[in-house]
Amino acid sequence: MREQVDSWVRTGPNKPVDRRQIEDAFGQRELEQIARSKGVDRDQLAEVLAKYIPRIIDELTPTGQLPARR
């Protein structure tokens, strides 16, 4: 997902990510545990993460760079 993540950090349009890529990145077991703890379906959780992770990363990097570590 390097291209997608780079697009979220850089300025400009964000490349989308799909549910399956989220499942691969987090692992199905981890997603299942998170989903169970929140009372939602694993597929539903993966869809929500696929929708919002690009937006969150984009908002955290408005200048196109990762913030400096403190």
CATH of 2-60, one of 1.10.10.690, 1.10.940.10, 1.10.3720.10, 3.40.50.620: 1.10.10.690
Q: Which two tokens stand for residue 46?
A: 């993966």
Q: Which two tokens stand for residue 33?
A: 């545990």
* Section 4-20 average pLDDT: 92
* Section 30-51 average pLDDT: 95
* Section 8-20 average pLDDT: 92
pLDDT at 10 over 80: yes
12 Rama sector, left if φ>0, alpha if ψ -120 to 50, beta otherwise: left
pTM: 0.82
